[in-house]
Chain A
């Protein structure tokens, strides 16, 4: 259950009349896994504890302003299990604000990456995201998304990461004959707009299709002798069909990184079936470059909704040697609020 306690607390503390204050929702989850991974120690793990606040309010123009900040606590890090308290790395997943209306929606800041709309077959927990080249979120970004046009929707985003600095060759060499490099703080070699993402989707009668394209190049071409791994072009397609309690989903993507001559092709097939509060998932995926063997994985999971925001699940993942051989059995417990 979402609770609007922030607004209440703030209003109460100030003892002032609430003046069209945004109604904030506090939400989050605590998520644990007991992980049994081949050739590894058993681990009772933090599987993503999150805390977020989001809300929206009506502006004078009649448009809606919205905001969301979502954090993740990475505690239980190496060697801290016997401490009474422990420092946590606080990570920010989402931190964005924007405006929406009949025209659609504009979002600025750290937000969901529309490219990830194609990852429709990602139905697992521990085994999530294994063969996916792009991330689910992005920072330093502005996006425009159309309103729903009879099931169609599209979006355009761009990323301008001014903190990214190119490493450039000074032209000099050191005593060992290695090139001396420096960090370029000018805009001579750093690009203003670093990435563009284009996404489109269609949804009707249980059918869903999404296509996305992302091109990222953080630096201008400056030296053939220096490698820069930040250039990456991806495109992909996701399809899913839901009928009654059955879901079938598939996605395919291809990514080319400047450093590698090879492109990486991923695909993943998944099916799930829900009975009352029990869901079964089954998936098979591959990741392959032109020159190397394919990494493969097979997964099965069963998930039980316990009501009250709680659920439990058990997953099994089998990975071939190319995929890291990390066969695993994982049971999880999660409480959302």
Chain B
């Protein structure tokens, strides 16, 4: 890999940390009530904060400026096409992980989405399945492990990859191998698609990151942990929201 490839690869991985900002921000309750229980999951806070600072720098000086430029020159319809394309490829992981969680209906619906979006949706550029009434069921292997009852383990801020837990980190390899882009032999094509995915994703989050307030590290950590809990339990959150009373 030459320098540019390395940079592209690193950039590609950084996006997951950013995407949690937005996804967490949209679903997370204010964090004060059970911040204590969440900080119990972060015994490595000192190390994590150091890595977070590095990631944040990477985003501030490289990824975010690139994403801004991309957003400025790319029509919205292209951005959503790119987003749909990668989301469609993600259905393969959704099928596998839904099956592993014995969610047969969700696996079949993910399969239908893949079939119809890949054909009528012109190789996934258009999401025709959603208006057709077939809902998306996003699952990854970290969620599958959680569904099987494996605890999250300590919170981890991964260099470049962003927020995770010990369990979710273990799940990354499984999902990585199910992504068709990662199976492409040609380095330029594979890395190019990886960069496009990340930059496109980052660009889509430019607006929502304004929701972040207070200690950025804590905000992201708590949002991430709550979001994962929410996803693993398919919305049936286990937290008790009345701990203040």
The answer to whether A and B interact is yes
A residues contacting B by CB (< 8 A) are 34, 273, 275-278, 280, 302, 304, 306, 312, 314, 331
Given A275-B105, A278-B108, A302-B111; A312-B116 close (CB under 8 Å) = yes
CB-defined contacts of B120 to chain A, threshold 8 Å: 312, 331
Given A276-B133, A277-B133, A278-B134; A304-B116 close (CB under 8 Å) = yes
Shortest CB–CB separation between residue B126 and chain A, in angstroms? 13
Shortest CB–CB separation between residue B116 and chain A, in angstroms? 6
Name 28 A/B residue pairs within 8 A (Cβ), A-sorted: A34-B119, A275-B105, A275-B108, A275-B109, A276-B133, A277-B132, A277-B133, A278-B108, A278-B109, A278-B112, A278-B133, A278-B134, A280-B108, A280-B111, A280-B112, A302-B111, A302-B116, A304-B112, A304-B133, A306-B132, A312-B116, A312-B120, A312-B132, A314-B115, A314-B116, A314-B119, A331-B119, A331-B120
CB-defined contacts of A304 to chain B, threshold 8 Å: 112, 116, 132-134
A34–B116 CA distance with the chains assembled, in angstroms: 13
A302–B114 CA distance with the chains assembled, in angstroms: 11
Contact B108 A273 (CB under 8 A): yes
- Report the number of A-B residue pairs with Cβ-Cβ less than 8 Å: 34
The 10 closest A-B pairs by CB, nearest first: A331-B119, A314-B115, A302-B112, A278-B112, A302-B115, A275-B105, A304-B132, A277-B133, A314-B119, A280-B108
CB-defined contacts of B116 to chain A, threshold 8 Å: 302, 304, 312, 314
CB-defined contacts of A275 to chain B, threshold 8 Å: 105, 108-109
A280–B112 CA distance with the chains assembled, in angstroms: 9
A50–B188 CA distance with the chains assembled, in angstroms: 51
CB-defined contacts of A302 to chain B, threshold 8 Å: 111-112, 115-116
A154–B189 CA distance with the chains assembled, in angstroms: 64
Which chain B residues in 98-144 approach chain A with CB under 8 Å?
Answer: 105, 108-109, 111-112, 115-116, 119-120, 132-134
Given contacts A276-B133, A278-B109, A304-B132, 5 further A-B contacts (CB under 8 A): A280-B111, A302-B115, A302-B116, A304-B134, A314-B116
Shortest CB–CB separation between residue A302 and chain B, in angstroms? 5
Shortest CB–CB separation between residue B70 and chain A, in angstroms? 33
A58–B111 CA distance with the chains assembled, in angstroms: 50
A275–B108 CA distance with the chains assembled, in angstroms: 9
A240–B51 CA distance with the chains assembled, in angstroms: 61
A34–B105 CA distance with the chains assembled, in angstroms: 27
A331–B115 CA distance with the chains assembled, in angstroms: 10
A312–B112 CA distance with the chains assembled, in angstroms: 11
Shortest CB–CB separation between residue A122 and chain B, in angstroms? 21
Which single residue of chain B is at the shortest CB-CB distance from A301? B115
CB-defined contacts of B109 to chain A, threshold 8 Å: 275, 278
A314–B111 CA distance with the chains assembled, in angstroms: 11
A304–B115 CA distance with the chains assembled, in angstroms: 11
A34–B120 CA distance with the chains assembled, in angstroms: 10
Which single residue of chain A is at the shortest CB-CB distance from B131? A306
Which chain B residues in 45-62 approach chain A with CB under 8 Å?
Answer: none
CB-defined contacts of A277 to chain B, threshold 8 Å: 132-133
Which single residue of chain A is at the shortest CB-CB distance from B118? A314
A278–B137 CA distance with the chains assembled, in angstroms: 15
